[in-house]
Amino acid sequence: MKKRYFQLGLGILLLLMACSSLKDQTKNILNQAETSDKQNAEDLPAKLRQEQQSIPADSSNSVSNNPLQSPKTQSAENIDTTLPQFPKEFLAIQDMEKTLRDLEYTLTDHDTPLTKNERKSLKQQKKEVEKKLSETKKAFKKKQQDKKKEMERRQKIEDGDTLSFWEKQFPKKTDRHITFPRIYKEKPRSILISHPWNRSDCTFAEDLFYASLQKPLALRGYYIIPPLLMNEFFTDTLLHTHHGKNQDLKHCKTDFGADAVLFVTIYRVEHEWWSSATKMNAEYLLRSTITNDTLFFRKIDYIYDTPLPPRRYKKDKNGPEISEEEQNLLNVCIAMQTAAFNDFPFGPYHPKHTKDSTSFSHRPFMRYNINTRPE
Amino acid sequence: MKKIPSCGLLILLSLTLLGCSKDLYNYRRYEDNMYAFARNGQTEKDERSLLSSYKTLVNKQKRGRKTPPPGTCAEYGKLLYRKGNLKEARKQFEREMQLYPESKTLVLKIMKDLEP
């Protein structure tokens, strides 16, 4: 037994020895590489060195001519080039670095000997410049970071995701006149609902939306251009969301008397057979026909998952013929429209018209989930 | 025993809240009729049920503003015109213009097209 333990110990020792020798070898290789670099640098002829020293002066001139030149070639040390650049500050840093280099050169230059006092004053000067440089670099970095944050925030707004996690969980109260200032300024009276753009897999989604969009807006006190009358004009493709979304809308004012046009893009309408949830996703965009400005924007992700029916009504024998599946989808669609416009400013036919400017509203550019799944 | 009056109060409160519903118009099953009409290719049965729903919408409004919802008179007028009831259709169009002056441009345009 003792012999075996001895053999095992020996084996482990040998292994450790081999590992340590490998480490040493790699270290040696790295050191050799470093020393060769240094030697190369030292071997440079005096002429070349002079050229190198004359480069900063030239480069600074070139920078002053072209301040937006790529910072990698001008390179001040430790500056992240992926961040936004400020040419003025960058040039100041470069000037300081240049003076530092000059000072260092004069201090180390053995061809022109310096007196003790001169050396002392130069060293003091160098220290001051170094201090100033570190301060300006810090300020520059901070400015860059702030600018980057601002840019990210703007990008978020453009993407439609403005709220942080905390704000999403506990939304702040935002007044309607702040979120929809253009509606309060323009005060549209009539709204035309354009033909929805169906980008979902559901083939009849546009009919669902078109039939259910009139009511929530009319109940908010607006005049809605009658959809049944508009049916014949839908041969004009500019009245379809797909084509007319970004076009000039002044013809809608002259032809139909609409003050604003509502564009609807449907992204998802589905109810899988294995799930009890109905999922819908759509985007609403209301644009003025007078100024072509966006008055209202909302992207809504609606999930209806509850045993309670979304809508109650009396069943009628002489009523319309709709299959059960379509009826369920229509009911959820109606619930979704009321949710989407529940903070829409009241129109001229509502007694609260212009009196609701300080009422609660969701933010104009936001995505929110309404999940009615019971806990 | 104390539960009975509190329950009564609750019922009373809910009833008053129900009575004070602030909707401007009563749309009944307008969306269903509209959807069926659009989906089923405007069949006669759907047209009939849509006509009857418009009739109630236009004539029996007891909620909020006590006037027909925007656009219903004009839509009813158009359906009546389809059925050949020209006189009633014109009446409905004029009513729409009277109730909602915003509809003037479109309704006048449609009336112009409908005239023989």
Write down the ipTM of this complex.
0.83
The pLDDT confidence band at residue A325, using thresholds 50, 70 and 90, is confident
Task: Say how many CB pairs under 8 Å bridge A and B.
Answer: 120
Beta-bridge mates of residue A191: A224, A260
For position A67, what pLDDT does the model report?
36
Specify which residues A261 forms β-bridges with. Answer: A192, A287
Contact (CB<8Å) A350/B46: no
> Is the CB of A219 inside 8 Å of chain B's CB atoms?
yes
Q: Is A29 part of the contact surface with chain B (CB cutoff 8 Å)?
A: no
pLDDT at B14 over 90: no
Which residue of chain B has the CA closest to A335? B31
Burial zone of A30 (CB within 10 Å; 0-12 exposed, 13-18 middle, 19+ buried): exposed
> Measured between beta carbons, which residues in chain A are less than 8 angstroms from residue B25?
218-219
B76 pLDDT band (50/70/90 cuts)?
Answer: very high
Residues 6+ apart with CB under 8 A from A244: A194, A237, A238, A261, A263
Query: Is residue B78 less than 8 Å (CB to CB) from chain A?
Result: yes
Contact status of A214 with chain B (Cβ, < 8 Å):
yes
pLDDT at A348 over 90: yes
DSSP strand pairing (A190-193 vs A223-224)? parallel
Q: What are the pLDDT digits (tens) for A167-209?
A: 666 666 678 888 888 999 999 999 999 999 999 999 999 999 9
φ, ψ for residue A127, nearest 5 deg: -60, -45
Mean pLDDT, all residues of chain B: 80
Residue of B nearest to A253 (CA): B105
Max Cα-Cα span within chain B: 75
Characterize the bridge pairing of strands A294-304 and A367-371: parallel
Q: Do A319 and B45 touch (CB under 8 A)?
A: no
- The Cα B87–Cα A4 span in angstroms is 116
Banded pLDDT at B21 (limits 50, 70, 90): low
A262 forms beta bridges with A193, A286
Q: What value does the mean pLDDT take over residues A9-13?
A: 80
CA distances from A327 to A246, A315, B26 (A): 33, 12, 20
- CB-CB neighbours of B91 under 10 Å: 15
Q: How far apart are CA A333 and CA A117, in angstroms?
A: 87
User: Which two three-digit tokens encode residue A133?
Assistant: 């440089």
User: A72 pLDDT exceeds 70?
Assistant: no
Q: CA-to-CA distance for A256 and B107, rounded, in angstroms?
A: 9
CA distances from A206 to A28, A195, A201, A233 (A): 73, 8, 11, 16
Spatial distance between the Cα atoms of A95 and A77, rounded to a whole number of angstroms: 13
User: A136-171 as b/e, with b when 16 or more CB fall inside 10 Å?
Assistant: bbeebeeebeeeeeeeeeeeeeeeeebbeeeeeeee
Count of CB atoms situated within 10 Å of the CB of A345? 26
Cα atoms in the Cβ-side hemisphere of radius 13 Å centred on A133:
20
Nearest chain A Cα distance for residue B2, angstroms: 32
Q: What is the pLDDT of residue A62?
A: 36
For B35-70, write each residue's pLDDT tens digit.
888 887 777 778 888 888 888 888 887 777 888 999
Instruction: Name the closest residue on chain A to residue B106, using Cα atoms.
Output: A256
CA distance B113 to chain A (A): 12
| pTM of the shown model | 0.62
Q: Inspect the interface and report whether the beta carbons of A225 and B106 lie closer than 8 Å.
A: yes
Residue pair A193/A315 in contact (Cβ under 8 Å)? The answer is no
Q: Which of B35, B52, B81 to mutate to test the interface with A (most CBs of A within 10 A)?
A: B35
Chain B interface test: which of A261, A327, A328, A349 (most B C-beta within 10 Å): A349
**Closest residue to A322, CB basis, from B25, B35, B106:** B35
Question: Could you count the other beta carbons within 10 Å of the beta carbon of residue A362?
Answer: 17
d(CA A255, CA A248): 13
Of A80-94, A358-372, B92-106, which one has max mean pLDDT? B92-106
